[in-house]
Amino acid sequence: MIVRLRELAMRAALGPLARRIERAAHHPRPAQEAALHKVLRACAGSTVGARLGLGRVRTLDDLTRLPPSDYQSIRADSDEVWRSGGRGRFGAGPVLALALSSGTTGAPKRIPVTRAFLAAHRRTMFTLQAALLDGFRAWRELAGGRQLLLGNAARVETAPSGVPCGYMSGIVLQSSPRIMRRGFLPSPEILDEPSWQRRLQRILDEARGADVRLIGAFPAALKSLTEAARARFGVDTLDQVWPNLRVLFFGGAPLGGPLRDELGRRCRRDGRILFWENYSAIEALFGHGFRPDWPGLVFSPFESVFLFSEAEHGPLRTLDALEEGGRYHVFVTNQGALVNYRMGDLVEITSRRPLTFRVAGRAVDQVTILHERITTAQAERAFAEALPRAPSLDFALYLRAGEPHRVVWVLPWEAEPAQLAALDGALGRANLDYGRLRQSGAYGDAAAERLEPPRFAAYREAHLHAGTFKEKKIFADRAAFSREYGLDNPPAVG
């Protein structure tokens, strides 16, 4: 009876949201106009919002004429909140928290979280749940179980001003309604555990006897959790512990076909698991899966305004002006006084009506020596094509300049010549410029380097405690690869 009542409550609360999502996918402009009004109410009069031009904005078209911004545009204000607080600086009220960025270079990034900004994030959680349940078509199955969400701590330090600093996933989960928190694992005190390995073991111990039906995390954490769970529980597949496990919910980075297949095999004996993707960041929830038969994710247009440009510094356009097949840089304006904030991400529009997209990667997620511009997606596609039965899904790639230049594949085993040739050919098909440079002799035969398997796992685990960790797969040179993986004594390249 309790499960039935919970199912009915979820349908009543979330069912209408699913209809709104569908309408907005066909006609996004009204939703974006309403989101703009929320933004203007929340922060147009704030110190930062006014300085960045929100006071001059009345329409979406007005917003497209404001210049883009980035973290440097707000760093001084964020630092002031860190030192001494700052009521009215980012919104009408005080800053409730500083959300730590998962960026790994430069000075730390702390995004101020106001009451309006946090409320917008909470509302998008409801939208996300509505999309998942509507697409899953099995409300009772999820209503009766628990969702294991591998977030991070809401507070990892306290600023000199007294403002708590933590990760956005923990901040949002901790502030979510109690009726929702009852369905989530792990407990908040477990998320406060600073060591990823100890936290993971405590999560598994707490979840062992629970009816887990969904696991949510970014891909690197899903890898780590499924490996650790099988070892700790002594099982081949996780459905031996959680027989009702049906959904893997992921975001933060792409999850390619080979890894999906492997995770499916780890989770269920029949390999049948539903993968549900979202595209989110500290700044906003940008989109998520909706209808499984639609050709991509849908945008989440109800709380933040999204603008796009074809060129990095080109004119900005609104959601309703995007074209099928187009690749665009992404900008967001939200209720925390970020204005046309450059995300550094690229999306590709897969359908115009309904409006769907896929995440095409980071704008800087490419390496080159000449003009080939090899991307992570191309490397992953080449790896999956060349080695469909590889002994491991871990790899990295870097470029070695010389006479001639070379691509170096870093693998957790000794590569055979045939495997290396297959990888090289597949990369030439994935990146036609690289293929032509190989034929011209500008690039020589690909080389291989073996990295002990534990080093790949250690690389993930060293970063998983710190927000949404995105594994880097491609590097401009050996030094960049060595720095990322923390290799003091790099092995010789074959």
The tokens describing 309, both together, are 């440009």
Residue 312: the pLDDT is 80
Question: What pLDDT was estimated at residue 363?
Answer: 67
Confidence band (pLDDT; 50, 70, 90) for 167? confident
For residue 158 the two structure tokens come to 């306290």
Predicted confidence band of residue 73 (pLDDT cuts 50, 70, 90) = very high
CA torsion sign for 353, 359, 365, 366 is: negative
pLDDT at 464: 73
Rounded to an integer, the average pLDDT of 427-456 is: 92
Distance CA 348, CA 280 (A): 16
pLDDT band at 238 (very low <50, low <70, confident <90, very high): very high
CB 307 within 8 A of CB 327: no
What ranges in 307-450 are assigned the alpha helix state H?
376-386, 417-430, 432-440
Mean pLDDT of 361-389: 84
Give the closest residue to 229 by CA, choosing from 208, 253, 257, 260. Answer: 208
The β-bridge partners of 277 are 250
Per-residue confidence (pLDDT) for residue 397, from 0 to 100: 95
> For residue range 316-350, what is the model confidence (pLDDT) as tens digits?
999 999 999 999 999 999 999 999 999 988 899 99
Among 139-148, 284-293, 472-481, the minimum mean pLDDT is found in 139-148
pLDDT in tens, 176-218: 767 667 788 998 888 888 777 888 899 999 999 999 999 998 8
- Containing 286, the helix (H) or strand (E) segment is strand 285-288
pLDDT average, residue stretch 129-138? 77
Going from N- to C-terminal start, the domains of the chain cover: 2-362, 366-485
Cross-strand pairs, 411: 450
Report the percent of the chain where pLDDT is more than 90.
55
* pLDDT confidence band for 261 (50 / 70 / 90): confident
Q: What is the pLDDT of residue 180?
A: 67
pLDDT higher for 241 or 107? 241
CA-based nearest residue to 300, from 256, 356, 359: 356
Mean pLDDT value across residues 6-20 = 72
User: How many angstroms separate the CA atoms of 7 and 10, rounded?
Assistant: 5
**Does residue 221 register a pLDDT over 90?**
no
Provide the pLDDT for residue 106.
Answer: 45
Mean pLDDT, the chain, rounded, equals 88
pLDDT score for 365 = 74
| CATH H-level, domain 2-362: superfamily | ANL, N-terminal domain (3.40.50.12780)
Section 58-65 average pLDDT = 98
Other Cβ atoms less than 10 A from the Cβ of 258: the count is 17
Which fold, 366-485?
A: GMP Synthetase; Chain A, domain 3 (3.30.300)
Segment 87-93 shows an average pLDDT of: 90
Question: What φ, ψ does residue 273 adopt, rounded to 5°?
Answer: -135, 140
